[in-house]
Structure 1
Amino acid sequence: MGKTLSVVAAIIENENEEILCALRSPKMSIPNQWEFPGGKIQEGERPEEAIEREINEELKCTVKANTMFLKSHHDYETFSIDLTAIKCTLTSGLPTAHEHSKLIWLKRENLDSLRWAPADVATVEQLMTECL
């Protein structure tokens, strides 16, 4: 087993109660699968700081980290991910795809219609239980 990466993922909900979903580009690892946008936590960075920085870099908009939603772990063949999903509020700008192939807003009851990266599945399942 390779190294374990500590990553953050943003759960950004709009005024229509839709959640932002990002399609990984063909050039990324785990290509053409959906994820919640985010990235690696840097040395000495708190998860809240990491998600605000990553969203600014990746989507060219600003979010405020609100609450920790779910911590999960996933083992891939060559590495592992410790994922911290954080509920965020969009504070300025509109998310635009720069690294991702596509961004869409989706109602939580429809999240399971996408092919999610395995590390994001636990977060999807937890979000979907909230709408029951």
Structure 2
Amino acid sequence: MADKKYIRVVGAVIVNSDDEILCAQRPEDKNLALKWEFPGGKVETGETETEALVRELEEEMECRIDVLDKITTTTYEYDFGIVELTTYYAELLAGEIKLLEHVDMKWMSRENIGDLDWAPADIPAIEMIQTQKGAIK
């Protein structure tokens, strides 16, 4: 059996002024169809994690963010590959969020964020976010 592809990805945990967190739903035609995730994407060769996160949010949602504190890095093995996900708190700076990649988005309270059907790699970060009060500025 061939080695699985190793995919480094980053996710933005964007917290608004009401302490709600942006959750984005994946499209039907991609891996993890209709699962919820923190917006972000693959880290390209030569890019830092924060550069990748800023670029991905610009590409997928046409918004600018400021990347804040790192939350965690988790690794999860899917059938299509091994995903290493690093999540960061982020602040929305400019731009109205447009769904260019995702099929839906919701602002959810920390308490209720776990109610969605999340991609497995995101779940450890969700558990940490729920125990931390307030965005880290």
Q: TM-score under structure 2 normalisation? A: 0.92
- State which of 57, 65, 68 in structure 1 corresponds to 2:67: 65
> What's the CA shift for 1:78?
2.8
| TM-score, reference length from structure 1 | 0.95
Q: Is the CA contact (8 Å cut-off) linking 1:8 and 1:85 kept in structure 2?
A: yes
Structure 1 stretches lacking a partner, 5+ long:
none
Please give the residue correspondences for 1:25-36 in structure 2 after superposition, counting only pairs within 5 Å: 25-36=27-38
Aligned to 2:10: 8
What is the Cα-based RMSD across aligned positions, in Å? 0.9
Aligned residues of 1:96 and 1:103 also touching (Cα < 8 A): no
Q: Match of 1:125?
A: 127
Residues in 2 aligned to 1:59 and 1:114: alpha-carbon distance in whole angstroms: 20
Could you give the per-residue CA deviations for residues 79-124 of structure 1, whole angstroms, max 9, x where no partner exists? 0111110111111012121110101100011011100011111111
Candidates 89, 93, 96, aligned match of 1:94: 96
Amino acid at match of 1:50: A
Query: Residues of 2 paired with 1:54 and 1:77: CA distance?
Result: 24
**2: distance between equivalents of 1:69 and 1:91?**
20
| Deviation >3 Å, runs of 4+ | none
Amino acid in the other structure paired with 2:13: I
SS in 2 for 1:81: strand
State the number of aligned residues: 131
Question: Cα offset for 1:38?
Answer: 0.3
Taking the aligned partners of 1:52 and 1:19, their CA distance within structure 2 comes to 17
5+ long unaligned stretches in structure 2: none
